[in-house]
């Protein structure tokens, strides 16, 4: 569900994001990358959450925003799972960069694809973690 909704939000954001929002997205992306470099789980979660929130807000679709907001509380729990072991999150800066780059180029299809790939990888991490925990 998150993959479909946030992919759609990224699609709309590529056409609708305002310059100030794009600058904020770039800044948040830089802070996120710094958090990854320093290994700060709290900051990774904070800036990852903010990164996705800016994209969602910039799509300017109230119903889509409301639906994604309902998912965000559940998503936060999963963020703690995949940031618990940094190795699982090491590719996220590149995935965020792909989303950001597509939005910068005003390429809706590319933005949606990049968001879909990103969230699909997260989904796989969460599923793998669940399987590993059941076998412990």
What is the chain's pLDDT, residue by residue, as a tens digit (136 residues)? 888 999 999 999 999 999 999 999 999 999 999 998 898 888 988 999 899 999 999 999 999 999 998 888 777 766 766 666 656 667 789 999 999 999 999 999 999 999 999 989 878 877 776 655 554 4
3-state helix, strand, coil in the chain (%, to 5): 90, 0, 10
Which residues, 6 or more positions from 40, have their beta carbon under 8 angstroms from its beta carbon?
Answer: none
Structure tokens, 117: 């790939």
Give the CA count within 13 Å in the CB-facing half-sphere of 121.
Answer: 14
What pLDDT was estimated at residue 61?
93
What pLDDT was estimated at residue 136?
46
Cα angle 103, 125, 73; round to 5: 70
């Amino acid at each position: 569900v998150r993959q479909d909704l946030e992919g759609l939000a990224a699609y709309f954001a590529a056409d609708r994001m305002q310059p100030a929002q794009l600058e904020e997205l770039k800044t948040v992306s830089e802070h996120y990358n710094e958090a990854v470099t320093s290994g700060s789980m709290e900051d990774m979660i904070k800036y990852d959450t903010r990164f996705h929130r800016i994209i969602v807000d910039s799509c300017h679709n109230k119903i889509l925003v409301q639906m994604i907001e309902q998912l965000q509380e559940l998503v936060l729990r999963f963020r703690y799972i995949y940031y618990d072991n940094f190795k699982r999150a090491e590719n996220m800066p590149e995935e965020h960069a792909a989303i950001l780059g597509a939005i910068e180029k005003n390429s809706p299809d590319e933005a949606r694809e990049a968001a879909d790939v990103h969230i699909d990888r997260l989904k796989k991490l969460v599923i793998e973690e669940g399987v590993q925990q059941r076998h412990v």
